[in-house]
Amino acid sequence: MRYITPRKAAEGLGSAHEGTQHHWAMTVSAVALTVLTPLFMIVVARAIGLSQEQLLAYFGRPFPALITALFVIVGMVHFIKGTRIMIDDYFQGGTRKAAIIFSVIFGWAVIAAAVYALARMGLGAIVVL
């Protein structure tokens, strides 16, 4: 019989010493995304149907570029952390490790691709002007 109360195991960082940060990061990114999501929908809706030249000019402007960059970065970080929970729930051992590694690499690859495209469009606009 160990004289440990349930509170001892639960308070502070908890028995795993992590997880609180994960939950808090999800909360912060979720709140940010509640604002970014409707804005991103508007940005994409206005972009669909544009010609390539118009699209380059459109995403060269600050508002569409910033909203898209923020949405993809915050969204994919939210995705990586959210996927981690799903992986922890359903997979074990080597499969779990492989899935986590793939999820993190995939998430940052999407961020890199989107930011690269936006940077090219933004710099192109400066050169044209």
Partner 1 sequence: MADVNRGNRPLSPHLQVYRLPLAAITSIMTRITGHALVAGIVLITWWLVAAVTSPGAFACADWVVRSWLGFIILTGSMWALWYHLLAGLRHLFYDAGYGLEIEQAHKSSQALIAGSVVLAVLTLIVFFVF
**Bind-site residues:** 78, 90
CB of 6 to partner 1, least distance (A): 4
| Closest-CA residue to 77 (of 33, 113, 34) | 33
Query: Would you count residue 13 as binding partner 1 (CB under 8 A)?
Result: no
Rounded to a whole number, what is the distance in angstroms from the first to the last CA of the chain? Answer: 76
Positions in 101-120 near partner 1 (CB under 8 A): 110, 113-114, 116-118, 120
Residue type, 24: W
Measured between alpha carbons, how far is 20 from 11 in angstroms, rounded to an integer?
Answer: 11
13: three-class secondary structure by DSSP: coil
Number of neighbours of residue 75 by Cβ within 10 angstroms: 20
Query: Would you count residue 74 as binding partner 1 (CB under 8 A)?
Result: no
Query: Would you count residue 49 as binding partner 1 (CB under 8 A)?
Result: yes
Q: Which residues are annotated as a binding site for heme?
A: 78
CB of 94 to partner 1, least distance (A): 21
Measured between alpha carbons, how far is 17 from 116 in angstroms, rounded to an integer?
Answer: 37
Looking at residue 11, what DSSP letter applies? S
CB of 32 to partner 1, least distance (A): 11
- By the criterion CB under 8 A, which residues form the site for partner 1? 1-2, 4-6, 8-9, 27, 30-31, 33-34, 37, 41, 44-45, 48-49, 52, 55-56, 59, 68, 72, 75-76, 79, 82-83, 86, 110, 113-114, 116-118, 120-121, 124
